[in-house]
Each structure stands twice: as C-alpha cells, then as structure tokens.
C-alpha cells in the first residue's frame, strides 16, 4: 500500500464527514484511513466506522498519531487534523512532489474555509512565512498536513507523547535533521477557521505567536501555558438531526411522486429543505413545508414526439435567468441552512450547488439506468440512446452514490457506486386492493391526441381516460379531470392500462398486476427503454404507433400478460429507504 492517512479525533462529528468525503473523492485510491479516537462522546466513531475506516484508540494528538502509525500498512504516512478538507487532486499531487524532490518530511500550504478577506490574508501570510522559514527552522502543525515515510517515522521514534502542545513541530524538526524538509508548492489543504471564530483573532494570534517564538528558541511550551485544548466538547445546542437539501426535477410527475414518498420518510428523522420546479413544486408544496420553487428544464412535445429544436431554443432562452436566479436562491438558503448532504432526483441545479459548497450528493432516480447499466436495445434507437446519455450525464455529475429505481435489472457497470432497487411506490398504491372490473385505464399526456380518441371508439371496450382536462362521457369513453383519489380507484379496478412510457405509471401498474400497452413518446429514449423491457418481461406490449389492431391484439392477450405478472414481487420501499438511511449516516455528521 502506498499511503496511510492517520487522523486523531475527539468529538468531531461536525467536521470529520467533510474530510472523509474529500478523501474518497480523490482520484488517487491506493490508501487506507486510520481514525485514532480519544474517547469521543458524540457520533465521531460511528461516522468513521460507517465510512469503512480503521478505528483505533487514541488520546492526545501525539498518542493518536503514533497508535495509527503502528498499524499503518502504507509506505508513506499522512497525518491530518480532522477539520481539514483535501482539495481536488491533493493526494496525487502531494506524493508526486514529495517523491520528485526526494523529501523525507513535508507540509502543505493552506487555504481557509472562509469567505472572510481577513482570514484569506492571514493564511496567505502563514504560507509565506512557512516557506521562508523552511530552510531555517523546519516546523509546522497538523493543520498543514504532515507527510513522511513510515521508515523515517520509526527511525525518529514517532511523536513525543510527553508533549501536549507543539508535538507536530518537534516531530518535523527531528525528522528534518535526518532527511529533507520542504513546504510543498502544489497541493493545497482547506482548513477550518473554527478556533479563530471561537477565540478571536487577538487571542489566537497571541497563542500562536508565543508558541512560534518558543519553537524558534528551541524551548517547549505546554497546552496549559497556552490554554489550548485538543478536540471539542459536544455541542448540545447543535441539532442532532442531519440537514439535507432534497431537489426534484419538475419534468412530468414521476420525480415529484417518488420525492413525496422519500420526503415523508426522511422528515421523520432529518431536517429537510426542498427545491423543485414546475409541476413537482406544485405537487410537493401542497404536501410539505420548506419547499422552494426554482426554474427547471422542460421538454417540448408535439404529436406524441419530442421536438428537439424547440426544446433547445426554449432552454437556451431561459438559461441566463435560470442559472442566475436558481444559484442565488440555492446558495443563500444553503448558506443559512448549512446542509450536510444533498439528495437529487434528477435536478440539475442541486448538482451545481453540491460542487460549489463542497457537500456530498446522492442521486436517486430511474434515469441513470441509461448510463450506469449495460442495457440492450435495438440498433435503430442508438441515436436516441446517445442523446439521452448526454443529457443524463450533464444533469448529475459525480455524486457519491447512484440509487437507481427500476422494475428491470440490467447488469450494473460500477457496483461500488451504483445500486438498483425496485420502484419507489406511494403508500396508496402499496395499500390498494387490485381488482379486475370492466374498463381499461388510459393515461395521456397530450390533450391534442385526436387519433387516440378515434381508435378507442372503434374498440368494443370501456375506457376511462385521464389527460384531456375534461369531465364527460363520449360513447364508450369516460373522460376524467385528474383527481388522485379517483385515479387510484380507477387504476386499482382496471383490467389493463394504456399509456406512454412513463416510468411511474408502468411501475405502479406492474405492482398491481395490470398489463400495460405502452406507446412511448417518439424520441424520448427513457420511455422507449421502459417499454422495451416491459415487453421483454412479458408484462405487456411496446408499439411505436397506436392502431386499432394493436389495441385489439393487446386486449386478446391479457390473460397471458396477467400470468407473467404473477411472478413480480416487491417488498414495498423498505430496501431503498434503508440504504438511504445508511448513506445519510455516512455523509452527514
């Protein structure tokens, strides 16, 4: 193993998750993490264990670092304080420069986790001072990150455990005498300013100035002399509930419905702020508090087909306003709310926010089956597939985990980052008694589909139709305006469903053992994919056009599809909600 990262902790539940997240985001992967905990009374140890780190007994920083080094398997040792954050590429850059310059021990330059100009100036001065002094008096602190080799650590007999302050500078100086010390020029470490905020500039500056003077004079100073304490007492005024931003795409109703189920679960044990656009905002704001409206992207449909040109023009026309207003709203609320985790149901701007404020993100949707699973579709849909992959990849970039919902289970490309679960279903569907009466449910998203009406009138069957925004009866057709309770009743008692390729309705229909005739929107690859696998599983049929013979053929095979549907099993939403709870424990404090 190349590197062992050793972190002493005491009551660091607020800061440790951010450090662990920044480590796991590094492209360099040949490392282990060792947490040396000094008996934390908060959830520090639990957070560490959930993040698959080694957790050992620590003490004061010198003791914790030495204990970590004893079990370390890496060629190099990196000692970090628990309230720092690694910049992108930090590990690779640090080791590369360390090896190129043939160093024995090194520290890195620091950047404050603060927007204060005073903080930035102070840290720039600190970097300048450390570089100027590196050849005169090698010294540093854990907040700079200390990189050395295990061989040199053992040769120097580790940190001096008799010292309760300045043990890091003492350690650097002793190893520098038998090797070469430098301040690394390339990597940067983001450091907390919590001591500065708590103790004030004047008091903290006095403590560090005094300790530096003593250090340069070769004299030792104790933590008691400086009134310095390792770690932090548990803050009982700090909310014990994880703080989560949840964002939902407003395209269609599927994202909103899935989000409503997850929110009902999350709000029991978490503080949640919600962002949603279009129909998702309308739906969610009527059910939950703290729901904020943002702008979103919307596809333009004409004659049951995607109009790519009009969709692009509409998106580009609104993009400058959307970006400015959305990011401003999201950032301002996040700055006040201080989220520990972002969960996104295919919502573009939450993805940007995650990168800006450096908060981990979990993706939960059905869309990523397109990009993260090995799907098999006919060649004629290759262009639609390629277009869909580009959209999906641009909407959500590099979350910590992809939770994909699906009623079909293709092979996953990267099982370490991706998991597939059954569709998330509303309680009303889970509790709905499935009966078989004398009607077919029709769900239509276009109010101008006159061909549908013409075809269905020729079929000797009763149809209950949603999507035309009217209440009337026309021969064998019953038109209904959308009402959730009535829709559940009609879905639960229908003999079959006729719809486009929308994921949510197909999923609910399959759960209720209702055969589905799917006519996907042309050019909408996600719907095409849903319909392809629906037919392969024997749960219904996929057709590109709705014709009289298509409907009659489908209705004549209902018994066959019903038999196939008997094999479908789903244990509610338990599995995915359990995994979500597990991930929240890992990525929140």
pLDDT, tens only, 39-62: 888 888 888 887 778 999 998 889
Supply the pLDDT for residue 514: 98
Per mean pLDDT, which range of 222-236, 258-272, 378-392 is the poorest?
222-236
204-216: average pLDDT = 45
Cα–Cα dist 356/329, whole Å: 13
Place 221 in a pLDDT band, splitting at 50, 70 and 90.
very low
Supply the pLDDT for residue 107: 93
Supply the pLDDT for residue 120: 79
Supply the pLDDT for residue 311: 61
The radius of gyration of the chain from alpha carbons, rounded to an integer in Å, stands at 29
* pLDDT of 507 over the 90 cut: yes
* pLDDT of 508 over the 80 cut: yes
Supply the pLDDT for residue 165: 64
Average pLDDT, the chain: 87
* pLDDT of 297 over the 90 cut: no
Of how many residues is the chain composed? 589
By the 8 A CB rule, do 454 and 397 touch?
Answer: no
How does DSSP assign 554-584, residue by residue?
A: HHHTHHHHHHHHTT----TTHHHHHHHHHHH
Cα–Cα dist 479/361, whole Å: 42
Supply the pLDDT for residue 132: 81
Place 94 in a pLDDT band, splitting at 50, 70 and 90.
very high
* pLDDT of 405 over the 80 cut: yes
Supply the pLDDT for residue 196: 45
List the structure tokens of 124.
Answer: 């720039």
* pLDDT of 233 over the 60 cut: no
Model pLDDT for residues 429-449, shown as the tens digit of each residue: 999 999 999 999 999 876 667
Cα–Cα dist 299/526, whole Å: 13
SS3 content of the chain, % helix, strand, coil (to 5): 45, 20, 35
Strand, coil or helix: 178: coil
Place 101 in a pLDDT band, splitting at 50, 70 and 90.
very high
Cα–Cα dist 436/492, whole Å: 8
Supply the pLDDT for residue 512: 97
How does DSSP assign 537-560, residue by residue?
A: TTSEEE-SS--HHHHHHHHHTHHH
374-383 own/partner pairs: CB under 8 Å, 24+ apart: 374/410, 374/411, 374/412, 374/413, 375/410, 375/529, 376/410, 377/528, 377/529, 377/532, 378/532, 381/525, 381/528
Cα–Cα dist 28/92, whole Å: 6
Per mean pLDDT, which range of 199-213, 273-287, 373-387, 477-491 is the poorest?
199-213
Place 209 in a pLDDT band, splitting at 50, 70 and 90.
very low
The residues, any chain, with a CB within 8 Å of residue 128's CB and separated by 6 or more, are none
* pLDDT of 139 over the 90 cut: no
Supply the pLDDT for residue 119: 73
Supply the pLDDT for residue 210: 45
Greater confidence (21 vs 575) lies with 575
Model pLDDT for residues 16-26, shown as the tens digit of each residue: 888 998 998 89
492-497: average pLDDT = 97
Closest Cα partner for 286 from 265, 262, 257? 257
Supply the pLDDT for residue 144: 86
Tell me the sheet residues that pair with 79. Answer: 6, 146
CA angle, 341 as apex, 428 and 371 as ends, to 5°? Answer: 70
Closest Cα partner for 306 from 387, 379, 390? 387
Supply the pLDDT for residue 207: 43
Supply the pLDDT for residue 124: 83
CA angle, 66 as apex, 65 and 67 as ends, to 5°? Answer: 90
Place 356 in a pLDDT band, splitting at 50, 70 and 90.
confident
443-469: average pLDDT = 87
**Do β-strands 496-499 and 516-518 pair in parallel, antiparallel, or remain unpaired?**
parallel
* pLDDT of 571 over the 90 cut: no
Place 141 in a pLDDT band, splitting at 50, 70 and 90.
confident
Closest Cα partner for 341 from 45, 42, 578, 585? 585
Highest average pLDDT, of 17-31, 103-117, 258-272, 321-335, comes from 258-272
């Amino acid at each position: 193993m190349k590197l062992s990262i050793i972190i002493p902790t005491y009551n660091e539940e607020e800061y440790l998750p951010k450090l662990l997240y920044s480590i796991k985001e590094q492209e360099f992967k040949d490392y282990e993490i060792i947490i040396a905990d000094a008996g934390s009374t908060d959830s520090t140890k639990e957070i560490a264990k959930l993040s698959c780190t080694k957790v050992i007994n620590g003490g004061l920083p010198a003791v914790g670092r030495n204990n970590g080094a004893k079990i370390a398997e890496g060629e190099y040792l990196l000692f970090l304080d628990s309230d720092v954050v690694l910049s992108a590429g930090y590990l690779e850059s640090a080791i590369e420069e360390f090896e190129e310059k043939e160093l024995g021990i090194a520290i890195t330059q620091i950047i404050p986790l603060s927007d204060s100009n005073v903080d930035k100036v102070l840290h720039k001065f600190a970097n300048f001072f450390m570089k100027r002094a590196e050849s005169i008096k090698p010294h540093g602190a854990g907040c700079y990150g200390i990189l050395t080799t295990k061989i040199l650590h053992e040769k120097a007999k580790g940190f001096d455990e008799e010292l309760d302050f300045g043990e890091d500078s003492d350690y650097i100086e002793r190893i520098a005498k038998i090797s070469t010390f430098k301040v690394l020029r390339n990597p940067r470490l983001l450091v907390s300013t919590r001591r500065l905020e708590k103790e004030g500039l004047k008091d903290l500056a006095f403590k560090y100035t005094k300790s530096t003077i003593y250090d340069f004079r070769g004299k030792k100073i104790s933590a008691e002399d400086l009134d310095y304490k390792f770690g932090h007492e548990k803050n009982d005024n700090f909310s014990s509930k994880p703080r989560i931003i949840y964002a939902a795409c407003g395209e269609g109703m599927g994202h909103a419905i899935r989000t409503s189920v997850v929110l009902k679960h999350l709000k029991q044990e978490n503080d949640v702020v919600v962002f949603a656009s279009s129909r998702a905002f309308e739906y969610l704001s009527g059910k939950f508090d703290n729901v904020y409206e943002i702008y979103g992207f919307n596809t333009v449909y004409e004659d049951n087909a995607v109009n790519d040109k009009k969709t692009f023009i509409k998106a580009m026309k609104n993009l400058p306003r959307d970006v400015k207003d959305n990011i401003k709203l999201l950032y301002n609320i996040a700055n006040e709310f201080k989220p520990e985790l972002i969960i996104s149901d295919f919502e573009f701007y939450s993805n940007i926010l995650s990168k800006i404020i450096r908060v981990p993100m979990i993706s939960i949707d059905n869309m990523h089956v397109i990009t993260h699973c090995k799907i098999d579709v006919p060649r004629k849909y290759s262009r639609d597939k390629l277009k869909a992959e580009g959209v999906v990849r641009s909407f959500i970039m590099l979350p910590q985990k992809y939770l994909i919902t699906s009623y079909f289970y293709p092979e996953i490309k990267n099982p370490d980052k991706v998991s597939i679960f059954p569709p998330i279903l509303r309680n009303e569907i889970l509790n709905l008694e499935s009966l078989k009466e004398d009607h077919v449910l029709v769900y239509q998203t276009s109010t101008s589909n006159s061909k549908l009406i013409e075809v269905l009138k020729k079929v000797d069957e009763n149809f209950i139709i949603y999507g035309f925004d009217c209440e009337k009866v026309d021969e064998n057709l019953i038109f209904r305006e959308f009402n959730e309770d009535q829709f559940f009743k009609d879905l639960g008692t229908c003999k079959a469903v006729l719809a486009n390729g929308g994921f949510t309705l197909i999923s609910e229909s399959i759960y209720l053992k209702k055969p589905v005739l799917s006519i996907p929107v042309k050019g909408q690859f996600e719907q095409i994919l849903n319909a392809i696998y629906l037919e392969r599983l024997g749960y219904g049929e996929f057709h590109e056009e709705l014709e009289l013979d298509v409907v009659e053929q489908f209705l004549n095979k209902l018994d066959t599809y019903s038999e196939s549907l008997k094999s479908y099993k789903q244990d509610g939403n338990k599995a995915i909600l359990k995994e979500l709870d597990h991930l929240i424990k890992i990525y929140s404090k």
